[in-house]
Chains A and B, each alone.
Chain A
Amino acid sequence: MADYILIESRDPFDSTETGNFLDLAEGLSKEGSEVALFLVQNAVMAARHGAKAAALAALAANGVKVLADSFSLQERGISPNRLMAGITVAPLSAVIDYMAAGRKALWH
Chain B
Amino acid sequence: MMGKKTLTFLLMDAPFETARTTTALRLIDIAARRGYDINVFAYEGAVYLPLASQAKHANAVHGTDAAEEDHPLPREWVAAVMQEAVRNGGKLDWVNCGLCVDERGANEAIAGVRRGSPADFWKMAGASDNVLVIPTR
Q: Are B26 and A92 in contact (CB under 8 A)?
A: yes
Segment at the A interface, from B39-47, B57-65, B80-88, B127-135: B127-135
CA distance A101 to B34 in the complex (A): 14
Q: Are A102 and B130 in contact (CB under 8 A)?
A: yes
User: Main SS of the interface on chain B?
Assistant: mixed
> Looking at chain A, what size class is its interface with the partner chain?
10 to 19
Min C-beta distance of A72 to chain B, whole Å: 8
User: Main SS of the interface on chain A?
Assistant: mixed
Q: Are B2 and A105 in contact (CB under 8 A)?
A: no
Q: Are B2 and A100 in contact (CB under 8 A)?
A: yes
Q: Are A9 and B20 in contact (CB under 8 A)?
A: yes
Q: Are A96 and B34 in contact (CB under 8 A)?
A: yes
Min C-beta distance of A65 to chain B, whole Å: 18
A-B contact count (CB 8 A): 46
The interface bits of chain A over 27-56 (1 if a CB of B lies within 8 angstroms of the residue's CB, else 0) are 000000000000011100000000000000
Known: A92-B30, A105-B130, A105-B132. Is A100-B23 also a contact (CB below 8 A)?
Answer: no
Instruction: Enumerate chain A residues within 8 angstroms of B131, measured Cβ to Cβ.
Output: 105
Instruction: Enumerate chain A residues within 8 angstroms of B7, measured Cβ to Cβ.
Output: 96, 99-100
Q: Give the contacting residue for A100; candidates B26, B129, B135; CB below 8 A.
A: B129
Most buried by A among B20, B26, B129: B26
Which B positions have Cβ atoms within 8 angstroms of A?
Answer: 2, 5, 7, 19-20, 23, 26-27, 30-31, 34, 36, 129-135
Interchain Cβ contacts under 8 Å between A and B, 24 examples: A9-B23, A40-B23, A41-B19, A42-B19, A92-B26, A93-B30, A95-B27, A96-B7, A96-B27, A96-B30, A96-B31, A96-B34, A99-B5, A99-B130, A100-B2, A100-B34, A100-B129, A100-B130, A102-B130, A103-B130, A105-B130, A105-B132, A107-B134, A107-B135
Which A positions have Cβ atoms within 8 angstroms of B?
Answer: 7, 9, 40-42, 71, 92-93, 95-96, 99-105, 107
